[in-house]
Amino acid sequence: AKEREIFNSLSPREKQVLSSIANGRLNKQIATDIGVGLRTVETYRNRVLCKIGATCLADAVAFAISVGLRRPGILRNQDRHAG
């Protein structure tokens, strides 16, 4: 419940970045995906980590799973490197 509240407080762009992180996208890939610069993605990522109380990307992935952004499981190699 608390996780859902925190998730709902994120901006649409922050949710998009969180989802991308949780699905194994690299900052550079996220920047290309959403049409912003790398520094902008880094800023969003840091803002998201702070808001959700994550200290590392693994925490962010766990949070994303808890709010239903991603199902638990191992990313396959082709998923990680998809263009």
- From first to last of its 83 residues, what are the pLDDT tens digits of the chain? 799 999 999 999 999 999 999 999 999 999 999 999 999 999 999 999 999 999 999 999 999 999 998 877 765 544 444 44
pLDDT at position 61, please? 94
Lookup result for tokens 């912003």:
36
Within 8 A by CB and 6+ apart from 22, the residues are: 60, 61, 64, 65, 69, 70
pLDDT at position 64, please? 95
CA atoms within 13 A on the CB side of 16: 14
* Rounded (10°) CA dihedral 18, 21, 23, 24: 180
Residue type, 81: H
pLDDT at position 71, please? 74
pLDDT at position 70, please? 81
